[in-house]
């Protein structure tokens, strides 16, 4: 996978993935994450995650609804987490390959463009 800027990623659309391809390497994932602010590798480098502290519970739910719209439009769906009513997180990986693909970084870049009411 070639490293791309966040702007380049947001202009792309996630492609369907039914498996049969290798996930990106740890080195590829680290290089791509250098272009995305605040995202971290988790689960032994098989997923990426970003966390925010929002103004209140409804701000978190509003952000998740916006995430859901973007995810549905691209056909690539994240795990959404809310803890302690103000701590939200998004976790991405390509389930069909058990690791990271370009789709995860595309969706991460698009999520970064969404408005969010921070604490």
Q: Crossing angle for the helix pair 102-112 and 57-74, nearest 10 degrees? A: 140
Confidence of residue 52 (pLDDT cuts 50, 70, 90): very high
- Give pLDDT, residue 15: 85
Q: Is the pLDDT of residue 113 over 90?
A: yes
Residue with tokens 């769906």: 77
From 36, 42, 30, select the one nearest 10 (Cα to Cα). Answer: 36
Confidence of residue 74 (pLDDT cuts 50, 70, 90): very high
- pTM for the structure as a whole: 0.95
Rg (CA), the chain: 14
Confidence of residue 86 (pLDDT cuts 50, 70, 90): very high
Q: What is the mean pLDDT of residues 46-75?
A: 97
* Residue 62 CA to its chain's centroid (Å): 17
Per-domain residue ranges of the chain: 39-119
How many residues belong to the chain? 119
Mean of pLDDT over the chain: 95
pLDDT tens-place string over residues 19-45: 778 999 999 999 999 999 999 999 999
The CATH homologous superfamily to which domain 39-119 belongs is: Transcriptional coactivator/pterin dehydratase (3.30.1360.20)
Residue 52, classified by CB atoms within 10 Å of its CB into exposed (0-12), middle (13-18) or buried (19+), is: middle
- Give pLDDT, residue 70: 97
């Amino acid at each position: 996978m070639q490293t791309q800027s966040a702007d380049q990623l947001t202009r792309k659309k996630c492609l369907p993935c039914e498996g049969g391809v290798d996930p990106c390497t740890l080195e590829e994932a680290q290089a791509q994450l250098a272009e995305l602010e605040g995202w971290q590798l988790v689960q032994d480098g098989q997923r990426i995650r970003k966390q925010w502290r929002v103004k209140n519970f409804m701000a978190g739910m509003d952000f998740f609804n916006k995430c859901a719209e973007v995810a549905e439009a691209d056909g690539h769906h994240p795990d959404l987490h809310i803890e302690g009513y103000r701590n939200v997180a998004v976790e991405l990986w390509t389930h069909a390959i058990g690791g990271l693909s370009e789709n995860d970084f595309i969706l991460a870049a698009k999520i970064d463009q969404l408005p969010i009411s921070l604490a």
